[in-house]
């Protein structure tokens, strides 16, 4: 289970999120919870939820970036960023599943979550419609 999962706001129903004001409140609560979780957490640089070697490999795979050396901190920061990204898009997808009275996430839920916010426009070529 994700360590910050208990701090993620769960008091928003999917029906409430459909209004722009409620979505802004949800986002504010989401980021406030994550910020507090990060600030209160003692950093543990030895254990990570995502494999650092894989993150480093992805960082080196970009042909436009001519990186030979990657500092030890960079994959750790990317790991945390990926954890937050995965948590947010999963939570948005879960709200869509609940809205459709389902308890299992489907590909269409992730797609809808990505389409619903301009923040995820970079996924337009990756996430099927």
pLDDT band at 96 (very low <50, low <70, confident <90, very high): confident
- 65 membership: H or E segment, kind and range: none
Q: Which residues contact 41 (CB under 8 A, 6 or more apart)?
A: 3
Rounded CA-CA distance 20/39 in Å is 28
Rounded CA-CA distance 46/115 in Å is 36
What pLDDT digit, counting tens, does each position of 6-44 carry? 444 555 554 555 567 777 777 788 888 878 877 777 666
Cβ proximity of 113 and 93 under 8 Å: yes
| Torsion angle, alpha carbons of 77, 62, 119, 84, to 10 | -30
């Amino acid at each position: 289970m994700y360590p910050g999962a208990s701090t993620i706001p769960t008091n928003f129903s999917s029906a409430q999120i459909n209004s722009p004001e409620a979505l802004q409140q949800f986002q504010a609560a989401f980021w406030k919870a994550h910020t507090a979780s990060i600030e209160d957490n003692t950093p543990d640089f030895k254990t990570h939820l995502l494999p650092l070697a894989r993150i480093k490999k992805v960082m080196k795979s970009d042909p436009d970036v001519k990186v030979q050396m990657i500092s030890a901190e960079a994959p750790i920061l990317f790991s945390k960023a990926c954890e937050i990204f995965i948590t947010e898009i999963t939570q948005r997808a879960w709200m869509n599943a609940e809205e459709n009275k389902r308890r299992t996430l489907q590909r269409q839920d992730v797609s809808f979550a990505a389409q619903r916010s301009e923040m995820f426009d970079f996924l337009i070529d990756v996430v099927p419609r």
